[in-house]
A and B are shown apart, each in its own frame.
Chain A
Amino acid sequence: MGFFDRLKSGLKKTKEGFSDRVNTLFSAFTKIDEELFEELEELLIMADVGFETTERILDGLRANVKKKGITDPNLVKHELSDVICDILDENDNSMRIDTKPSVIVVVGVNGVGKTTTIGKMATYYTGIGKKVLLAAGDTFRAAAAEQLDIWAKRAECEIIKHNEGADPGAVIFDAVSAAKNRGADLVICDTAGRLHTKKNLMEELAKIIRIIDRELPGADKEILLVLDATTGQNAVQQAKLFDQSTGLTGLVLTKLDGTAKGGVVISLCNSQKIPVKFIGVGEQKDDLQPFVSQDFVAALFE
């Protein structure tokens, strides 16, 4: 199955909920009026896009409709896709991991799917020929290292882990040293889930980043915030505070195979200027894919 098909099939259920409504909506209207925009507002808010971003999208849509003199409600759909794509493409969606070794640090609140995402990422990068090394930096949650270990076996890559309760900074330090010695291309660091409001835990993350900067000066580094697609507007706070202590370079959107739309990423691209880099569309090990906004939006609307 090609990438686009996989994305579409993963997003199918998402699409059915959302797109059906969009299609019904557009065909129910014979002309473009405020009522149509009000319905669209409801749709976008129900998709967790958030009020401010919804307003921005609709303002853009209104302007385009006026400028191009569109009168057919069915054409509004394409315009809507364009406006959303523009927002998603404002920032560079590609991964920058060219140095050897380079580092990916995966952060996020509890239960968003960090460990699973890393397992899938390891599969993806070993699949394209990179030598990957995993760092089991979640030393807090019971059995987190075991979970990552199982993923390392599936992806056939190496893993550095310590005992539960160990200092995560020490795990990362060891992993980075091992990567240098063994000539790994990519170190992917797991971290314990933490609420962004816990100051000392966020400080711990900042320390991990400092260790990486000190040990691998000049190396390419991606710091990715994993977001659960079911998360609502709190994602904005999460992104803000994680960004403050770690300097985020991108987002990973997981669990898009449910009925949640993950619309909050549009809001994050809009307000926080953080691009989406990967999306998770299923529970299988190769169900993580690089994010392409056109495909993402197309899969939502077509």
Chain B
Amino acid sequence: MAFDSLTEKLGEVFKKLRGKGKVSESDVKEAMRLVKLALLEADVNFKVVKDFIAKATEKAIGSEVLESLTPAQQVIKIVNEQLTELMGKEAYKPVISPKPPTVYMLMGLQGAGKTTTCAKVAKYFIKQGKKPLLVACDIYRPAAIKQLQVVGQQVGADVFTLDEQKPAQISKQALDYAIKNNYDMVIIDTAGRLHIDEELMQELMDIKAEVNPTQVFLTLDSMTGQDAVNVAKSFDEQIGIDAAILTKLDGDTRGGAALSIRAVVGKPIVFCGMGEKLDNLELFHPDRMASRILGMGDVLTLIDKAQEAFDEKKARELEQKIRQQTFDLNDFLDQMQQMKNMGSMEQILSMMPGMNQKALKGVNVDEKQLARTEAIIKSMTMKERQRPDIINFSRRKRIAAGSGTSLTQVNALLKQFDQMQKMMKQFSNPKNLKKFKGLKLPF
């Protein structure tokens, strides 16, 4: 299944839910099936997904959701909350040893990005005024030492190398060198290895025993699939890891591996690599990752904003009016003002699931137009707002003059409102919704 269409599918199910006043147990199950799919496509481990879905379904079938006015949002919220809960809420911070130097050891599979990440970690701490020493322990890959020297120089960190020595000895001597020369941080780059390569895993144990690192980080490619769990588990069981660093997160991977590691190994993610440049390293924010894994934009923020802005009673009244088809220009104005409270239209639209750049292209959002519309409606009498059909030519002229707009603009608004009313008449029938996909918003 294609990556982007899944986000859409999830959106579609929730749209279906949105169309209904209440959701049944089977609706929740259908939505959860798609959440399951989304998680699998995001490479979250199959067992973690199964467990997750069982728990989320149980929560979602509770009465709160079924009675809720906006069940779709509630379902998303429950899923998101549970994801965040599993991922941890606060960003994890790397531990600094009270007695310098702080020693970090990085390890991982081939090609995970250890050497680059070492330089990035060095840069991260140089910016905080620390003086790190990089240690080249990858004695196998051709030109790996050279690579560390080059990136070390680029970030302004010294690189410790030793020829014809075992990695454990190199690290030990590097540590002595660091203490003697007042480095307050030592970052050890190790060779990439398979977690099932006993000989090379023993080498890591030797390094660890020799230098007793403050923290051991597993460097993991964020595009890793189901195997992420095996890798993290093996490294943790054999060497012991304190946290993981996720690399290459600047691509479009959803990074489900982050969730699997958290759920199966119970270890946090400390940093994430966000680009090719050596200062593209960030602390990892679990809450942001939750919506990325679901592929839903910043849905939670949107929900929070919506709940702040929309007064529930007003929302009920609005729903009534739409159903009874008594929606007038007053309500329209009201709704517009509430929308304004939530932030700019672009901002809101960009937070909606399935609203990627492609979808946004067709929507014309003009903040000025919004203000103009407000002025026009405010220049109408109450009676005019309730019954727009009484607005004749002379009334139009007066409204245009009063709002500082032109006759054409008043006409355009009235026409759009008329279209909108027609649209609302069909609102109760979700089958008709598709027809309005390309319709320009009336404001």
B41 touches A46 (CB 8 A): no
- B 19-61 contacts with A by CB, 8 A: 37, 40-43, 45-46
Residue B78 at the A interface, CB < 8 A?
no
Q: How many A-B pairs with Cβ below 8 Å?
A: 139
CB-CB under 8 A from B251, the residues of chain A are 109, 195-197, 234
Contact string, B1-24, partner A, CB cutoff 8 A, digits 1/0?
111000000000000000000000
In the complex, what's the smallest C-beta–C-beta distance from B322 to chain A, in angstroms?
A: 37
Binds A, one of B104-112, B262-270, B372-380: B104-112
Q: Give complex CA distance A64, B9 in Å.
A: 30
When C-beta atoms are compared, the residue in chain B nearest to A146 turns out to be B143
Binds A, one of B163-171, B217-225, B300-308, B393-401: B217-225
B223 touches A143 (CB 8 A): no
Residue B252 at the A interface, CB < 8 A?
yes
In the complex, what's the smallest C-beta–C-beta distance from A38 to chain B, in angstroms?
A: 11
CB-CB under 8 A from B3, the residues of chain A are 233-234, 236-237
A150 touches B110 (CB 8 A): no
When C-beta atoms are compared, the residue in chain B nearest to A115 turns out to be B142
Residue B194 at the A interface, CB < 8 A?
yes
Q: Give complex CA distance A36, B2 in Å.
A: 27
A230 touches B109 (CB 8 A): yes
- B 219-257 contacts with A by CB, 8 A: 221, 223-228, 230-231, 247-248, 250-254, 256-257
Counting chain B CB atoms within 10 Å of each CB, the highest count among A13, A110, A235 belongs to A110
Residue B150 at the A interface, CB < 8 A?
yes
Residue B420 at the A interface, CB < 8 A?
no
B250 touches A234 (CB 8 A): no
Q: Give complex CA distance A210, B84 in Å.
A: 46
B1 touches A234 (CB 8 A): no
A51 touches B226 (CB 8 A): no
Residue A247 at the B interface, CB < 8 A?
no
B37 touches A51 (CB 8 A): yes
- A 145-164 contacts with B by CB, 8 A: 146-147, 150-151, 164
B142 touches A233 (CB 8 A): no
Contact string, B193-234, partner A, CB cutoff 8 A, digits 1/0?
011100000000000000000000000010111111011000
B250 touches A143 (CB 8 A): no
Which of B110, B113, B224 sits near A113, CB closer than 8 Å? B110
Asked, given contacts A232-B224, A232-B257, whether A142 binds B147 with beta carbons under 8 Å apart, the answer is: yes
A45 touches B196 (CB 8 A): no
Residue B422 at the A interface, CB < 8 A?
no
When C-beta atoms are compared, the residue in chain B nearest to A196 turns out to be B251
Counting chain B CB atoms within 10 Å of each CB, the highest count among A42, A52, A195, A235 belongs to A195
Q: Give complex CA distance A237, B46 in Å.
A: 20
Residue A199 at the B interface, CB < 8 A?
no
A143 touches B150 (CB 8 A): yes
A258 touches B150 (CB 8 A): no
A110 touches B147 (CB 8 A): no
Which of A141, A233, A255 sits near B109, CB closer than 8 Å? A255
A51 touches B41 (CB 8 A): yes
Residue A19 at the B interface, CB < 8 A?
no
When C-beta atoms are compared, the residue in chain B nearest to A52 turns out to be B1
In the complex, what's the smallest C-beta–C-beta distance from B33 to chain A, in angstroms?
A: 11
CB-CB under 8 A from A150, the residues of chain B are 142-143
CB-CB under 8 A from A46, the residues of chain B are 45-46, 226
CB-CB under 8 A from A258, the residues of chain B are 109, 194-196, 227, 231
A111 touches B221 (CB 8 A): yes
Residue B157 at the A interface, CB < 8 A?
no
CB-CB under 8 A from B150, the residues of chain A are 142-143, 164
In the complex, what's the smallest C-beta–C-beta distance from A140 to chain B, in angstroms?
A: 8
Contact string, A223-235, partner B, CB cutoff 8 A, digits 1/0?
0000011111111
Residue B383 at the A interface, CB < 8 A?
no
When C-beta atoms are compared, the residue in chain A nearest to B111 turns out to be A111
B109 touches A232 (CB 8 A): no
When C-beta atoms are compared, the residue in chain A nearest to B119 turns out to be A142
B224 touches A237 (CB 8 A): no
In the complex, what's the smallest C-beta–C-beta distance from B13 to chain A, in angstroms?
A: 16
- A 240-269 contacts with B by CB, 8 A: 255, 257-261, 264
Q: Give complex CA distance A194, B195 in Å.
A: 25
B252 touches A197 (CB 8 A): yes
Main secondary structure of the interface of B (DSSP, over half): loop
B256 touches A232 (CB 8 A): yes
Residue A112 at the B interface, CB < 8 A?
yes
B250 touches A195 (CB 8 A): yes
Residue B424 at the A interface, CB < 8 A?
no
B147 touches A143 (CB 8 A): yes
Residue A300 at the B interface, CB < 8 A?
no
A236 touches B248 (CB 8 A): no
B248 touches A195 (CB 8 A): yes
A232 touches B111 (CB 8 A): no
In the complex, what's the smallest C-beta–C-beta distance from B200 to chain A, in angstroms?
A: 10
B111 touches A234 (CB 8 A): no
Residue B440 at the A interface, CB < 8 A?
no
Q: Give complex CA distance A51, B194 in Å.
A: 27
B41 touches A142 (CB 8 A): no
Contact string, B347-359, partner A, CB cutoff 8 A, digits 1/0?
0000000000000
Q: Give complex CA distance A236, B221 in Å.
A: 16
Q: Give complex CA distance A143, B136 in Å.
A: 14
- A 115-134 contacts with B by CB, 8 A: none
B41 touches A233 (CB 8 A): yes
CB-CB under 8 A from A255, the residues of chain B are 109-111, 194
When C-beta atoms are compared, the residue in chain B nearest to A45 turns out to be B46
CB-CB under 8 A from B253, the residues of chain A are 232, 234, 237
CB-CB under 8 A from A257, the residues of chain B are 194
In the complex, what's the smallest C-beta–C-beta distance from B295 to chain A, in angstroms?
A: 11
CB-CB under 8 A from B41, the residues of chain A are 50-51, 233
A-B CB proximity, top 7 nearest: A232-B225, A111-B111, A232-B43, A142-B150, A260-B227, A150-B142, A146-B143
Can you name 8 A-B pairs with beta carbons within 8 Å? Answer: A45-B40, A45-B46, A48-B225, A111-B248, A143-B150, A228-B111, A259-B195, A261-B227
Residues in B lying within 8 Å of A, measured CB to CB: 1-3, 37, 40-43, 45-46, 109-113, 141-144, 146-147, 150-151, 154, 194-196, 221, 223-228, 230-231, 247-248, 250-254, 256-257, 276
Residues in A lying within 8 Å of B, measured CB to CB: 13, 17, 42, 45-48, 50-52, 109-113, 140-144, 146-147, 150-151, 164, 195-197, 228-237, 255, 257-261, 264, 271
Other than the given A143-B147, A150-B142, A259-B231, 7 more pairs (CB < 8 A) read A45-B226, A111-B110, A147-B142, A195-B250, A228-B223, A230-B109, A258-B231
